[in-house]
C-alpha cells in the first residue's frame, strides 16, 4: 500500500494533488472527533459545509419533519442559534440519535473540502483509530472477502517488538494509494493531527506486517510527510511516554491545537479527543451526496 500524507492542505505540492482512491481526513481537535462521536451516538448523517449561512440554508430547505440539527464553532465557541458546538461530550445518543446533522467548523470542514478529490473518504480520530485502519485495509485489500478480513490490534500505543508476529495465517495483500490529510489550524501544521497521521501509519503497518522494521514492510511512504508523521508518533511513545489515553491527552495539551483549546476553556475536550479506540464507527462520505457522512 502506498501512503501519501498531507501535513496540512496548504502544504502540498501540485504533484501531490492528483485524485486519490482512498482519503482519510484528520482533525483531532476537534471536527473529526466530534463527527465520529456523533455517528457513534447514532446520528443518521453529518453534512459538512464551509459557511454558517450555508448551514442555515440547508436547514431552511430540509423537510420540516426531518429538520437537521446545526452544529459547529467559530473561534472555538458555539455559533449563535446553532444546536451544538464542537465539543465531543455534547453529542449523546439522547440528543442526536436518528437525527441529521449539519456542521461547519474553522478547519475540519475546510480540510474535508480540500481533500474531496477521491473515491472513498473516511474521517479519523484517536477514538476510532483501529477501526479506521481496519476500514482502510478492507477497502484496499486485494482478493477474496476472507483474505480482506482485518487483523485487529486494539492497543495503538503498543510498540512492535522484534519477535512480534501478525495474528492470522496469511498476510493481507493491499494495493493502491491512500492519502492522509491533516487539517492543521488556519493553514499551519499542527502536532495533534500529525501525531494521529503517524499513529494511523503505524497501526496499518502492524496489521499488515510481521516485521517490526517499518521500511522492510508492506507500506510505501511516497512522500516525506508520512515519514515525519511516523517519526513524531514514535517519538511520542518512546520519549514522551504516551502509553494510554490519559498520557495522550497530556501530550495533546502541548500542541498548537491543544493550547488553543486550553486558552478557550475546553481543556476537558482534550481528554475526549485523546481517548484511543473507544469507537468502532467510521464516518464515510456518502457516494451520492459528497458532503454527507454516514456510518461506514
Ligand atoms: O474549535 C475547534 O475545534 C477548532 C477551532 S480552531 O482550530 O481553534 O480554529 O475547529 P476545527 O475545525 O474543529 O479544527
Longest dimension (CA), the chain: 59
pLDDT in tens, 216-257: 788 999 999 999 999 999 999 999 999 999 999 999 999 999
Atom of ligand 1 nearest to the CA of 73: 1
Name which of 69-78, 215-224, 245-254, 259-268 the model is least confident about: 215-224
- 48 CA to middle of ligand 1, Å? 14
Residue 217 pLDDT: 81
ipTM of the complex: 0.92
- 168 CA to middle of ligand 1, Å? 40
- 165 CA to middle of ligand 1, Å? 39
pLDDT tops 50 at residue 159: no
pLDDT in tens, 32-51: 999 999 999 999 999 999 99
Residue 182 pLDDT: 98
Q: Which three cell numbers stand for residue 265?
A: 476553556
Name which of 125-139, 141-155, 176-190 the model is least confident about: 141-155
pLDDT in tens, 195-206: 999 999 999 999
Confidence of residue 163 (pLDDT cuts 50, 70, 90): very low
- 37 CA to middle of ligand 1, Å? 16
Residue 168 pLDDT: 53
Q: What is the mean pLDDT of residues 9-18?
A: 91
* Average pLDDT across the chain, whole number: 91
Residue 175 pLDDT: 80
pLDDT tops 60 at residue 210: yes
Q: What is the mean pLDDT of residues 258-284?
A: 97
The residue whose CB lies within 8 Å of the most ligand 1 atoms, and thus the one to mutate among 46, 86, 268, is: 86
Confidence of residue 167 (pLDDT cuts 50, 70, 90): very low
pTM: predicted TM-score of the whole model, two decimal places: 0.91
What is the C-alpha separation between 213 and 160, in angstroms, rounded?
9
Residue 164 pLDDT: 33
The DSSP result for the chain, as a single string, is: -EEEEESSTTS--GGG-SPEEEEEEE-TTTHHHHHHHHHHTT-SEEEE-S-HHHHHHHHHHS-GGGPPEEEEEETTEEPTT-SB-S-GGG--HHHHTT-EEEEE-SSHHHHHHHT--EEEEEEE-GGGHHHHHHHHHHHHB-S-TTTT-------TT----TT---SSSSPPPB-SEEEEEE--BTTB--HHHHHHHHHHHHHHHHHH-S-S-GGGSS-EE-SHHHHHHHHHHHHHHHTS---SHHHHHHHHTTSHHHHHHHHTT-HHHHHHHT--S-----EEE-SSSTTEEEE-
Q: Which residues line ligand 1 (CB under 6 A)?
A: 27, 29-31, 73, 76, 86, 105-108, 183, 185, 257, 260
Residue 23 pLDDT: 97
Q: Report the percentage of the chain scoring pLDDT > 90.
A: 81
Amino acid at each position: 500500500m502506498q501512503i501519501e500524507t498531507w501535513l496540512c492542505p496548504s502544504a502540498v505540492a501540485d504533484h501531490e494533488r492528483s485524485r486519490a482512491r482512498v482519503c482519510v481526513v484528520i482533525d483531532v481537535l476537534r471536527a473529526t472527533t466530534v463527527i465520529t462521536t456523533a455517528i457513534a451516538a447514532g446520528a443518521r448523517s453529518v453534512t459538512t459545509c464551509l459557511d454558517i449561512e450555508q448551514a442555515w440554508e440547508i436547514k431552511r430547505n430540509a423537510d420540516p419533519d426531518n429538520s437537521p440539527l446545526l452544529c459547529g464553532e467559530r473561534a472555538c465557541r458555539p455559533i449563535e442559534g446553532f444546536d451544538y458546538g464542537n465539543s465531543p461530550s455534547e453529542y449523546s445518543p439522547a440528543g442526536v440519535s436518528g437525527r441529521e446533522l449539519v456542521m461547519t467548523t474553522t478547519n475540519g470542514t475546510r480540510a474535508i473540502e480540500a481533500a474531496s478529490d477521491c473515491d472513498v473518504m473516511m474521517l479519523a480520530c484517536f477514538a476510532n483509530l483501529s477501526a479506521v485502519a481496519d476500514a482502510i485495509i478492507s477497502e484496499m485489500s486485494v482478493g477474496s472477502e476472507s483474505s480482506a478480513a482485518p487483523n485487529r490490534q486494539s492497543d495503538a500505543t503498543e510498540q512492535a517488538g522484534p519477535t512480534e508476529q501478525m495474528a492470522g495465517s496469511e498476510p493481507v495483500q493491499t494495493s493502491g494509494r491512500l492519502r492522509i490529510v491533516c487539517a492543521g489550524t488556519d493553514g499551519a501544521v499542527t502536532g495533534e493531527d500529525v501525531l494521529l497521521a503517524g499513529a494511523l501509519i503505524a497501526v496499518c503497518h502492524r496489521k499488515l506486517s510481521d516485521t517490526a522494521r517499518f521500511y522492510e514492510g508492506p507500506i510505501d511512504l511516497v512522500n516525506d510527510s508520512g515519514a515525519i508523521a511516523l517519526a513524531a508518533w514514535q517519538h511520542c511513545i518512546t520519549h514522551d511516554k504516551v502509553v494510554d489515553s490519559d498520557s495522550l491527552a497530556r501530550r495533546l495539551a502541548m500542541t498548537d491545537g491543544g493550547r488553543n483549546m486550553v486558552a478557550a476553556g475546553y481543556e476537558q475536550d482534550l481528554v475526549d479527543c485523546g481517548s484511543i479506540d473507544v469507537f468502532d464507527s467510521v464516518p464515510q462520505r456518502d457516494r451520492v451526496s459528497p458532503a454527507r457522512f454516514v456510518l461506514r
